[in-house]
Chains A and B, each alone.
Chain A
């Protein structure tokens, strides 16, 4: 089955710790995204990548880092610089080309701070 997988489903972070959230897609999509969702708020863009080896900051990139070494993978690292990391993190992808801009989402990772 084609789709987007995220792991883990739940992640606990200690003070001063970096943690990495995994996102993998087998949809052959070019563009991938990371969003953060807080209760009662809309999705906010952290980083996005339109092609391999290239990525751009979104609206709330501070305290986060990404890499895009392979088309199917776009991991997100939440660094210790992110002071309020507790949130629901969603990875998404889209194919390129006219009429193919629909975003598909993975099941998400809930990050909690201990």
Chain B
């Protein structure tokens, strides 16, 4: 089993749609969770950190379920500019600065 697993997609959705991505992780000691966005041939950029209580930033909502060891990202009212690959990132455990990256979920928003 991979340490961090994501559905690779692609998810093709129309503009204005709501889309959700899930990510599962295997290390129960992981403490920090993130979603990054990566455009084609560019570096990953932080989209949002994921907190236990869940957090929202505009059209984006992230949730963490520690019991089931998964995190989710919800995008509402999709825009063409949301088309990218979304990476789930998990640290290896408390006090460690090592991170595990998922392979990413590709989103394409269609006009």
- A residues neighboring B (CB under 8 Å): 31, 33, 35, 40-45, 48, 50, 58, 88, 90, 94, 96, 101-108
Judge whether A42 and B42 touch: CB under 8 Å: no
B91 beta carbon closer than 8 Å to chain A? yes
B97, A94: Cβ atoms closer than 8 Å: yes
State how many residues of chain B have any CB contact under 8 Å with chain A.
21
Contacting residue for B32 out of A40, A45, A101, A105, CB 8 A? A101
> Are B43 and A105 touching (Cβ within 8 A)?
yes
For the complex, what is the distance from the CA of A90 to the CA of B44, rounded to whole Å?
Answer: 9
Contact A108-B43, Cβ < 8 Å, known A40-B103, A42-B104, A48-B97: yes
Chain A contacts for B42, CB-based, 8 A: 107-108
Shortest beta-carbon distance, A42 to chain B, in Å?
Answer: 4
